[in-house]
Structure 1
Amino acid sequence: MSKSPYYAPQGGLPPQTQLLTDRAMFTDAYAVIPRGTMTDIVTSNLPLWDNTRAWVIARPMSGFAESFSHYITEVSPGGGSQKPELDPRAQGVVFVVEGTCQITIEGATHTLNEGGYAFLPAGCDWQLRNLSDAPVRFHWVRKAYDAVPGIDAPEAFVTNEKDVSPNAMPDTDGKWATTRFVEPDDMRHDMHVNIVTFEPGAVIPFAETHVMEHGLYVLEGKAVYRLNQDWVEVEAGDYMWLRAFCPQACYAGGPGRFRYLLYKDVNRHMKLG
């Protein structure tokens, strides 16, 4: 089997000889969860899922993620769920980073390989099984859908990252690009889960400060990332949460590409009260 281009946690535990020093940080403005913290003892089981465990790397709570939850889910051979989502308000995105699974949406079955992406609207009927002989690992991002009268709800779709052309950011010579699975002006959608790619030496050349909440999982490479007032080293397998208006910037020093899976909430009025 060829090596996946995306980093996925494997579990296990560090040796008793390892020092406790790490890059984990939790602040009012941002959090960094390094890949080394994603061990066996921090996984969670999910109801109505067989042979499955999940690293929960974001969940709605005071002082942390407000609008979404984010799991890295590992399903062993023969595992999966016939009723994976118990909240009828929850929409979801599944993005496969290692292995293969079958996902059935409203009776239509699709195979998701590495890079496979499925959007699952709130209330849709779906199931997921691992029929292969190796574990499958995927990101599962969930958000309660914010319906708007007069705007249709979005439909389910399945694709693969390799079939979606990245959009270069203006005036960057293609060094900073975003793979968008949903068009930004499609008002049916109130969340985007995209992939951002920086070529070696590329930067976010200003401190982005905006209303969108972010979750960033590093799929590949390394960089230094500006989070509020701090510059933090991050690498493949690390996770960052940024609250709304947390200043951010990036310098991807190389030697390879720096890529991350990005969540943000979009296209809705700000709730008052």
Structure 2
Amino acid sequence: MAAKYYAPHGGLPGQDQLLTDRAIFTEAYAVIPKGTMRDITTSFLPGWDGTRLWVIARPMSGFAETFSQYIMEVQPGGGSDAPESDPEAEGVLFVVEGEATLSVGGETYVLRPGGYAYLPPASDWTLHNRSDAPVCFHWIRKAYEPAPGLDAPEVLILNEQDIAPTPMPGTEGKWATTRFVDPADLRHDMHVTIVTLEPGAVIPFLETHVMEHGLYVIEGKGAYRLNNDWVEVEAGDFMWLRAFCPQACYAGGPGNFRYLLYKDVNRHMALRPRGR
């Protein structure tokens, strides 16, 4: 069965709707529910035609420190010949709806739902929507951190549906991770994976670790423990978890609970501000 991926479509709630929602912003974590992905919360980027986006994470005081994350919506005929303005930025694209035509390194690829692209710094890539329907994809950006003796990674073009998930030990496959990058490849300083928990599966302890997280729920629902709170989340919700924020979860069913996960990895901890 083909994988499912949630994609926002904007719009506005009716004037008869209650003002209450599930948005939460704390020093340890944030929850940006799907109900906030409305027309009036979109942004636009120079150099992108026929495109709007929801910015769901950006480096700022008291929020994300290592990455930004956009949900891009590109209309037919839209796109960009110069999408990335920062030559030090690496990126990951993950398509949840429609088709994107990506050109990089002299090759052209069509990314469909489940399509993943890793784009190292200064890749000189372009992206266009040459189909007759909108395309929606996540764009995760990070300032690449070089490491002595290691080259930057090469371009990767993959699709989730071609990758066998890796079960977590002792879970009988009820909790598994789809890995687009070999965890032993230390050239990579970030991992973007897909975590799948079957109905009733759990992360059975409070993970408390140095990796910052961005989690976007692409399917299903679950109950997530974030610091001192239990929060219900569902497809379309985004969570930001600060480094060392305690975390665990239950998959709520009736279907799988799945999320796109960002984390920073494989580098020394910075002891002074970047660039000093």
Which of the five TM-score ranges fits, normalised by the shorter chain? over 0.9
Are the counterparts in 2 of residues 213 and 244 from structure 1 also a CA contact under 8 Å?
Answer: yes
Are the counterparts in 2 of residues 4 and 97 from structure 1 also a CA contact under 8 Å?
Answer: no
Counterpart AA for 2:92: V
Please list every run of at least 4 consecutive aligned residues from structure 1 whose deviation after the TM superposition is greater than 3 angstroms.
none
Within 5 Å, give how 1:1-273 maps onto structure 2.
5-273=4-272
Give the Cα–Cα distance (whole angstroms) in 1 for the partners of residues 56 and 216 of structure 2. 9
Of the structure 1 ranges 4-13 and 136-145, higher mean CA displacement relative to structure 2 is found in 4-13
Are the counterparts in 2 of residues 42 and 55 from structure 1 also a CA contact under 8 Å?
Answer: yes
Per-residue Cα deviation, 1:14-51 (whole angstroms, up to 9, x for no partner): 01111011100000000000000000000000110000
Give the Cα–Cα distance (whole angstroms) in 1 for the partners of residues 8 and 83 of structure 2. 21
- The alpha-carbon deviation at position 5 of structure 1 amounts to 1.2
Counterpart AA for 2:84: E
Query: Secondary structure of 1:36's match?
Result: helix
Give the Cα–Cα distance (whole angstroms) in 2 for the partners of residues 200 and 121 of structure 1. 36
Are the counterparts in 2 of residues 220 and 257 from structure 1 also a CA contact under 8 Å?
Answer: yes
- The alpha-carbon deviation at position 4 of structure 1 amounts to 7.2
Give the Cα–Cα distance (whole angstroms) in 2 for the partners of residues 4 and 12 of structure 1. 25
Are the counterparts in 1 of residues 3 and 161 from structure 2 also a CA contact under 8 Å?
Answer: no
- TM-score, length-scaled by structure 1: 0.98
Are the counterparts in 2 of residues 165 and 179 from structure 1 also a CA contact under 8 Å?
Answer: yes
Counterpart AA for 1:12: G
Give the Cα–Cα distance (whole angstroms) in 1 for the partners of residues 182 and 158 of structure 2. 14
Give the Cα–Cα distance (whole angstroms) in 2 for the partners of residues 142 and 93 of structure 1. 7
Query: Secondary structure of 1:47's match?
Result: coil
Per-residue Cα deviation, 1:198-243 (whole angstroms, up to 9, x for no partner): 0000000000000000000000000000000000000000000000
Aligned residues: 272
What stretches of structure 1 of length at least 5 have no aligned partner? none
Per-residue Cα deviation, 1:112-164 (whole angstroms, up to 9, x for no partner): 01110000001111000000010000000000000012111100010100011
- The alpha-carbon deviation at position 253 of structure 1 amounts to 2.2
Give the Cα–Cα distance (whole angstroms) in 1 for the partners of residues 75 and 106 of structure 2. 23
Give the Cα–Cα distance (whole angstroms) in 2 for the partners of residues 71 and 204 of structure 1. 27
How well do the aligned residues superpose, as a CA RMSD in angstroms?
Answer: 1.1
Are the counterparts in 2 of residues 191 and 264 from structure 1 also a CA contact under 8 Å?
Answer: yes
Counterpart AA for 1:174: G
Give the Cα–Cα distance (whole angstroms) in 1 for the partners of residues 109 and 148 of structure 2. 31
Query: Secondary structure of 2:95's match?
Result: strand
Per-residue Cα deviation, 1:72-97 (whole angstroms, up to 9, x for no partner): 00000000000000000100000000
Query: Secondary structure of 2:233's match?
Result: strand
Counterpart AA for 1:202: A
Are the counterparts in 2 of residues 78 and 130 from structure 1 also a CA contact under 8 Å?
Answer: yes
